[in-house]
Amino acid sequence: MESAQTKVEKLLKEHEGDLLSKAQINRLLGGRVNRMTLNLILDYLEESNKIIQRPTKGIMWAYAEKAEIVPKDAHII
């Protein structure tokens, strides 16, 4: 079973580039996450630099996975 945090992260990644309100996030999750729990998850994600949260604008996924660094002299096949 997925944790609430995993569900929220997955949802925000799927809507990368979109500004979502807390109400929209809760609705998209089917109302299955308690409002207080959602607030704690969003605060954690903001502190870990995975989202940008603006009270009047919305919430947006901001985390970029680090791409594997390939040396300049590597031969890519």
- For 4-61, CATH gives 1.10.10.10
60 touches 18 (CB < 8 A) = yes
Structure tokens at 40: 């704690």
**Could you read off the pLDDT of 23-73 as tens digits, one per residue?**
999 999 998 899 999 999 999 999 999 999 998 889 999 987 765 556 667
Other CB atoms within 10 Å distance of the CB of residue 53? 15
What's the pLDDT at 1?
78
Model confidence, pTM:
0.79
Domain ranges of the chain: 4-61
The rounded distance, in Å, linking the Cα atoms of 12 and 9 is 5
Q: Nearest-CA neighbor of 14 among 49, 57, 53, 60?
A: 60
Residue 71 is predicted with a pLDDT of 66
Predicted local distance difference test score (pLDDT) of residue 43: 96
**pLDDT band per the 50, 70, 90 thresholds, residue 75:** low
**How many whole angstroms separate alpha carbon 38 and alpha carbon 4?**
8
